[in-house]
Structure 1
Amino acid sequence: MENCFRPQEKIIYNKPESRCSDVCLPGNRKKPRSSIHRCCYDCVPCSEGEISNQTDSESCMKCRDDEWPNEKKDRCIPKVLEFLSYIDGISIVFITFSALLCVMTVIVKGIFISHLNTPIVKANNRNLSFVILVSIMLSFLCVFLFLGQPQDITCILRVMTFGVIFSIAVSSLLAKTIMVYIAFKATKPGSYWRKWLGGKLSNSIVSLCSSVQVIICLIWLSSSHPFMEMDIHSYQDKIVIQCNEGSVIGFYSVLGYMGFLAAVSFVLAFMVRTLPDSFNEAKYITFSMLVFCSVWIAMIPAYLSTRGKYIVAVEVFAILASSAGLLSCIFFPKCFIILFKPEKNTQSCLLDNKYRYG
């Protein structure tokens, strides 16, 4: 016989719930409404740099200095490290141009060596020409010190390396210009200037002018040298790894002295630019110093108005542009004559040997 009795079923009634606000999801916080009901509130997103990882959170938490909220603002993630790496598009462009210009400098040097005893190479002190070529080549190579993640040693070598290299190059141009001036002062028989002709004076000028820059760099190193730092304030979601110049006075002293040498070379070359063209290369030095000064003057406002890795890009561009200006203005005209106008590279096209030095 079937059991006609069934167990009594338990009926569960849901408790009615009354809400005047929605649930605040992670990434938001409660904001009390201006009403008579304290339980009513609005959900507002967390502020910049803050997160909430709980539902109906009363407040948001601030991320650490090296972290930043994700898109949902429910957790902190490490900030992106920014520096001018070797794989950046602009770095690849710089590396390409630096390599090409370095190879071009080696080719120019090879042309000069293969035509070492020709009049156009011997004129205007060929030893100084080789010093300038080596300096230009090293300036193209020092671009690699500015690329990649900065370290304390690279920060020290960056500005000081190109400062000394450029000082040697500009000092050599200054010596060239002075020797051109002295050579034409010594054309008169029995002239007092004849004893100053030769390589000793030019070498002394280069050594003295370059030594001043080295002393400035040593003082800078001993007082407050450059170092690597992490800038967490320029960008909210990035940490910029950059070089702190240490002493601002030291940094601008290096650039200022380099500019002083360029200005003196420009003025002297401009003064003697009208001397006979067959011997005189002062007009090429004038134009090269004009390009050099223009690049670095334009670099200053660009340097002061940029941030992050683009400051390094401005410095690298200035180095490449000024070095390329020296190479093209000083040496390309001579290479053109050597390769394509050999009839002008003869003794008859230059002044007599008594007016020539080097």
Structure 2
Amino acid sequence: MAANPTILRPELTNLAPYNAGLTLAEVAARKGVTRVAKLGSNENPAGTDPAVVDALENAMRSIGAYPDPVGRNLVARLAEKHGWPQDKFVLGNGSEDLLAVLARAVLRPGDKVVTLYPSFPLHEDYARLMGAEVIRIGLDAEGMIDLPALLDAVAKPVRLVLFANPMNPAGVWLQPADLRRVLAAVHPEAITCVDEAYHEYASGPDYVSAEEQLATYARPLVILRTFSKAWGLAGLRIGYAMTNSDQLRQGFDLARTPFNVNLMAQIAAEAALDHPDAVDRAVALVRIERTRVAKAISDMGMRVLPSRGNFLFFDAGQPSSMIAERLLDHGVIVKPWRQEGYESWLRVSIGSIMDNDQFLMALARIREAAIG
């Protein structure tokens, strides 16, 4: 009998399923686990603001109808918030949905995409799915973004420059002057997308959003934001893009699905925008705890990179999958990194004080057991 022919696109052979992490229920079912600290997905430990929950309850009577396909009410709110025209926004089923839409809209087989490394895997996967070639720009010996290499790469005639600022998983970021240098160096034929999923956690004198460039930047620019992190809406999946390009805005509409953001997500995001104080409180806690947890990891003798996200990236000095598995025995979920060159690194989200204490105690016990 002849072998079954391959029915999948060849680009899929180079991809791996996205590691979405374990659920609370899966870890709670493990023997000996009495409490779970979920620190693998960069969620807001404060959860969803109660006012958002109230808005969702009031909206339940409307779920029998399709949502606004372009989210006019929410887009109007976002335009007001950012001071940018409504027709330059597009909503997505999470910001990673918009990454996929952007790839479908602009990438062709053989195109080159510059991105930072280690990366959010979907930055690379969606590009490869379209047949594009990914050019990785790694960290330097100090664990910071290799700025000279990045400047050199983006100045070449590539199709897309795509990177997160701050980076995920590394947490490091481009200083304001460096971000401006990178954007200025981008080749005239290239499209630039800056993923700012962790923008709320990064604000300060040593960070600036690419948003400041939208009004004056001469080349196509896209900035991605999400309600999943600081805004506490991860379960509803909603993000958005801002662009300075009419062509890109049209391309997003042509390449996305017609109703890609559901009614409840739109309503929740509007309600969340009414209560930015909830975000301020959540971010304030993360900043304090991020410093404390980073020092504790460092005091255990492990290298931890500086971070402007709601997470830390550290080198355990042992296979990360093994450390993550042992942490599960203590009810702690973290994300072991598996990209080449970072197999001993883990990303841990900054959670509540109790969650962070549980993680640090578990990590210390694992370290002590390994040394003893």
User: Given the two structures, how large is their TM-score scaled by the length of structure 1?
Assistant: 0.19
Structure ranking higher on relative contact order (CA contacts 8 Å, 6+ apart): 2
Greater share of residues in helix = 1
Q: Which has the higher strand share?
A: 2
Larger CA Rg, structure 1 vs 2:
1
